[in-house]
Structure 1
């Protein structure tokens, strides 16, 4: 024979649970612990649910009273849980704010401001001039094939001009490019005329290092291909560029030879009372246009190339090219 459950017993249990839960909620200090308390008291298998499991043994008259009390206890505990959760979240935010607060009155840690290397500054200055003239910057790989570095540029395998650009050859048959002219070939293979590009970048040659030569150096080359371009267009373009770099100066072009241009010329500027060679140039050789699929009967082009180090040394009156690579801060801070 089962012993009847008295409503007073369930009421006392609910009130006891309420007091116990409220004390536990008030003393918890983490959100994880608070969630565990919610499960413990208000979960499907929580303490309140277990107490309510005895309502089936109450008389019909007593059940509404206990049900109303149970709902009151649940709402009170849920309210306490929400309030405590909000308090803990606010405390966590305040702690984070305090830990990340900066005292703007404290003196800062001094770090010297950096700036571009003189070669980078010179390269960017030259690029800005040509971009302003409508040219596009094109880049390519520093490790090249013989075809792109020599053959497509009209260097015959046994031509003595190759000796002037002896380079570092790699075991797989590739080589380190001796000029950025290889970029021009790659670009023309993928684009139809008109073409107006500059190709800046690092180059390599087996030069003996001295005050004016380095085995690793930087070039910027210019290429324009279109219908009707002439040597006059080339000279006018170079004059605008050189005046942008050096100011109002006198220039001259001397006949020269390059395998990939015909006719070819060396460009000099009148600098500090003497003539100074600064670049080479010429009209693109028809064989080069044929190698990329351009019709030399329709299109003509001009090209020019210069060493970035040469221009930087002239502009900044640097006496030895090796200073540009020594990473000596006493030297670099001057720029």
Structure 2
């Protein structure tokens, strides 16, 4: 075998080795093209050849070296591409999988109750008065007490005396002042006044499981001709059944409030009442106060009590939420504990 034929045989050997998928390309390069490789060894033995033979062997050697180098580069590129493909496959993010669902918020449970109350009364044709102009939380003594038939020496003030800023300015103890502010501007030639006033109020109560120095209130007022206690009872029954269920009933008990006459305490049945329920088996729980608006209150707000009558009531959304959901401590509503509030997540998530 001539040296030229031997060199051509090296090309076939290199091609055969490089055909293996997992071949060590660097080892093949060293074996055939290295300083001590097969091609170099053949070329070193050219000293005994004639000029023509040297020319032929040198030419074939360069061709074989170039061919093997190209094959090595091809194989190296092939292996690198395969390695990159395997790496990408291992690190690929499957965008078809569902993503992490963000946790959405929900209205606070007290806001949910207030929204239910407002929606019900809107359906009855009431106005919702919560604009700061007509419903300020910082109120005057005149609107907060005196307009509600509570002069400065009235003993009932002791139950409500609250956070005073000056002797005549305080944080409101009820949303009743809103009624006076709206009533004195109402034009009865356009019809009766039907309104509710939701908002925060402040008392000097010591915080405990059933009391808070700050809570929410929704006061209602209807003023018109021939408004009666029957209208009041029907209105209160409708909102109680809206909040607690159509089979719950209410009862009215005589009471006293300076701003209504006659006045009543309103109880709602703890359980559903059916035609078979015996009266003595009904358990009642007090939920609010109401009554026919006192003539003095109407007069102070510029309304003639001889021509118009009115009823008023005060709802406590915080208390209603406690009853509806079985919450035993009112302070839970104000701690911002998400674990507690999630129980009332209206989105159900």
TM over 0.5: yes
Residue in structure 2 matched with residue 269 of structure 1 by the alignment? 268
Where 2:343 maps in the other structure, the secondary structure is: coil
Residue in structure 1 matched with residue 254 of structure 2 by the alignment? 255
Using the alignment, how far apart are the partners of 2:239 and 2:315 within structure 1? 12
Shift of 1:240: 1.1
Shift of 1:110: 3.6
1:311 aligns with 2:320: yes
Using the alignment, how far apart are the partners of 1:179 and 1:172 within structure 2? 18
Match of 2:234 among 233, 236, 241: 236
1:114 aligns with 2:105: yes
1:329 aligns with 2:328: no
Residue in structure 1 matched with residue 126 of structure 2 by the alignment? 135
Residue in structure 2 matched with residue 173 of structure 1 by the alignment? 168
Residue in structure 2 matched with residue 225 of structure 1 by the alignment? 223
TM-score (norm 2): 0.65
Using the alignment, how far apart are the partners of 2:186 and 2:239 within structure 1? 25
C-alpha RMSD of matched pairs (Å): 1.5
Change (3 A) 1:106 1:250: closer
Using the alignment, how far apart are the partners of 1:148 and 1:104 within structure 2? 63
Higher Rg of the two aligned structures: 2
Using the alignment, how far apart are the partners of 1:262 and 1:172 within structure 2? 29
Structure 1: where are the runs of 5+ without partners? 1-102
Shift of 1:270: 1.0
CA deviation digits over 1:129-150, x for unaligned, max 9?
A: 1111110101200000000000
CA deviation digits over 1:215-264, x for unaligned, max 9?
A: 00000111000000011111111111111111121211011111110000
Using the alignment, how far apart are the partners of 1:292 and 1:172 within structure 2? 22
Using the alignment, how far apart are the partners of 2:205 and 2:181 within structure 1? 26
1:209 aligns with 2:207: yes
Shift of 1:190: 1.1
TM-score (norm 1): 0.67
1:1-335 correspondence to structure 2 within 5 Å = 108=99, 110-139=101-130, 140-171=135-166, 173-193=168-188, 194-247=192-245, 248-272=247-271, 274-335=283-344
Using the alignment, how far apart are the partners of 1:317 and 1:260 within structure 2? 32
| Number of aligned residue pairs | 233
CA deviation digits over 1:293-317, x for unaligned, max 9?
A: 1111000000000111000001111
Where 1:148 maps in the other structure, the secondary structure is: helix
Shift of 1:192: 2.4
Structure 2: where are the runs of 5+ without partners? 1-93, 272-281, 345-349
